[in-house]
Amino acid sequence: MRAAGELSIAVIAMALGAAAGCGSPSGPPTTSPPPPLTWSLATSPPAPAGLTGLSLDGVACDSATDCWAVGSGQDASGNSQAVIEQLTVAGWSLVTGPTPPGSSFSVLEGVSCTAAGTCWAAGYDVGSEGTATTLIEEQTGSGWTIVASPAQPAGEAGFLNAVTCDAAGDCWAAGSVDGSDGNSGTLVEEETGGGWSIVPTPVAPSGVTSELDAVSCADPAYCWASGDLVDASGAVQVLTLEDTGSGWTVVTSPSASDDEPSSLGTVTCVSHGDCWAAGEFDDATGTAQPLLEHEGGSGWSIVSSPLPSGATGGQLSALTCLTATECWAVGEALTASGAGRPLIERDSGAGWVIQAGPAGPGSTSNQLSAISCVSASLCWGVGSETASKPGSGPALIEEGT
C-alpha cells in the first residue's frame, strides 16, 4: 500500500479457533498435510541500463515455465520506472515494456492473466504535468501495449494498486483517487471485453481518506477488495468492500483495535464464503506485526499469524489459494536489528505455519511482495532486496518446489 501514516496499536493475540476433529477407529484415515516446499533463490536478471534497486510487486504464473512479474526500478534521478520480467523455459529475463508518452515516473503494482492467455498489468504514471494517472498495460502474445485507462476529473490523481481476472475473463483493478482537496478515495475499474471503465464505490463511513490495495474475485458475482481508511481522528482502520453482482458495498471487518490503526494490503478468494485478507499493524513499541483475517461466509474475523523464531515483527504483503486447504502468504519478517527477511506462511487446512525462505546473498534486507502457485508443489515468490553494496540491482525471486 502507499503509506497512510505511522501505525501505533497494541499487540493482539488471537487463537485460530479451529480444532482438529477425532474420528472413530472405523472411520476414514486422517489426511496428512502435504510436505512443505523447499524454497530456493532463482537467478534474477540484472537491472536494465540506467536503473538500480529493482523491486517486483506482482507475479502471475500459468505454468511451470510461463510467468510474468512486474514492478519498478530507480533511475539516476531517483524516479521509479516500470519493469516487466518473464519466466520461460530459459529462466527469468527482462522484457521491454512501453513507456507512457512524457512519463517521468511509472510503476506497475500488479499483474493477472485470463484463461484465454491475455495478461493485464496495472499501476500509475506521472507525466510532465506532475499529476499521477492510472496506467494499464495488456499482453496478448505479441508484446505489451498501453491500454486506455479512464481519465480522472481535472485536478485529481489516480493510482491502481492491484488487478485480478476471473475464469470468465472479467477483470478488475483497484486503487485510489487523490482529490483536489488532498484527500483520497477508493477507485475500482472493470474490463469485460469492451475496455476499462470506472465502477462506483461507496464512501466509507467516517473515512476522511481511503484507498484499496487489493482485489480478488471467485467469479463475476463474488468479489472483495481490501485496503484502509483514515478517520477524522487520524486513526488508520482496515477497509473491505464486497461486490456480489449488484455493486460494491462497504462490509465491516475487524481492525486490530477499535480505535487504533490496521491495514489490509492483500486479499484472495477461493470460493463464495471463503476469502483471506492480510496486512499489518503496529504493536505498542511501534514494530509492525502481521495481520491475517478470514471470511468464511458469516463475516471477517482475525486469525493468528505465526512469525519465524527470533523475529520481532513482520507484515504480510500477498496471499494466494489453490484450494480451500492450500493457501500461501508472503511478506517480511523483522529481525532484532530491524533488517527484513523473507516471510513465507502456508495453510493446508490445519492453521498457518512458517516455511523457510532464503535471503539474498550479500543482502542486508529482503522482502517478498507477491506470490503465485502453479500447483501444490510449485510456487514463485517475488520481491526486493537491499544489498550491502548499493545499486547492485536485481529483484528477489524465489521458487518453492
pLDDT attached to residue 14 = 34
**CATH second-level architecture of 39-400?**
7 Propeller (2.130)
| Confidence check: pLDDT of 315 > 80 | yes
Give mean pLDDT, residues 376-388. 88
At 87, the pLDDT band (50, 70, 90 cuts) reads very high
Could you give the CA distance from residue 209 to residue 229 in angstroms, rounded to a whole number?
6
pLDDT attached to residue 24 = 32
Tell me which residue of 356, 361, 345 sits closest to 396, measured CA to CA. Answer: 361
Give mean pLDDT, residues 161-173. 91
Q: How many CB atoms neighbour CB 202 within 10 A?
A: 14
Give mean pLDDT, residues 338-351. 92
Total residues found in the chain within this entry? 401
* DSSP calls for 118-129: -EEEEEEEE-TT
pLDDT attached to residue 205 = 66
pLDDT tens digit sequence for 89-126: 999 999 989 988 888 999 999 999 998 889 999 999 99
At 32, the pLDDT band (50, 70, 90 cuts) reads low
pLDDT attached to residue 361 = 76
| Confidence check: pLDDT of 9 > 50 | no
Task: List CB contacts of 19: < 8 A, sequence separation 6 or more.
Answer: none
The answer to which of 19-23, 153-157, 361-365, 393-397 has the lowest mean pLDDT is 19-23
Q: What pTM did the predictor assign?
A: 0.89
The answer to which of 9-18, 23-32, 253-262 has the lowest mean pLDDT is 9-18
Could you give the CA distance from residue 262 to residue 230 in angstroms, rounded to a whole number?
10
pLDDT tens digit sequence for 231-265: 888 888 999 999 999 999 999 999 886 556 789 99
Could you give the CA distance from residue 170 to residue 254 in angstroms, rounded to a whole number?
29
| Confidence check: pLDDT of 7 > 50 | no
Pick the more confident residue, 102 or 56.
Answer: 56
pLDDT attached to residue 25 = 35
Give mean pLDDT, residues 33-39. 83
pLDDT attached to residue 364 = 81
Is residue 190 within a helix (H) or strand (E), and if so which, with residue range? strand 184-191
Sign of the CA dihedral with 96 first, then 97, 102, and 107 last: negative
Q: What is the average pLDDT score of the chain?
A: 86
pLDDT attached to residue 387 = 66
pLDDT attached to residue 284 = 79
pLDDT tens digit sequence for 178-199: 987 778 899 999 998 889 999 9
Could you give the CA distance from residue 93 to residue 84 in angstroms, rounded to a whole number?
9
pLDDT tens digit sequence for 276-310: 999 999 887 888 899 999 999 999 999 999 999 99
At 19, the pLDDT band (50, 70, 90 cuts) reads very low
Are 296 and 312 in contact by the 8 Å Cβ rule? The answer is no
pLDDT attached to residue 22 = 29
Are 72 and 106 in contact by the 8 Å Cβ rule? The answer is yes
pLDDT attached to residue 363 = 75
Are 171 and 120 in contact by the 8 Å Cβ rule? The answer is yes
pLDDT attached to residue 206 = 64
| Confidence check: pLDDT of 379 > 60 | yes
Domain ranges of the chain: 39-400
Pick the more confident residue, 117 or 316.
Answer: 316
Could you give the CA distance from residue 192 to residue 320 in angstroms, rounded to a whole number?
23
At 342, the pLDDT band (50, 70, 90 cuts) reads very high
Q: Percentage of residues in the chain with pLDDT exceeding 90?
A: 62
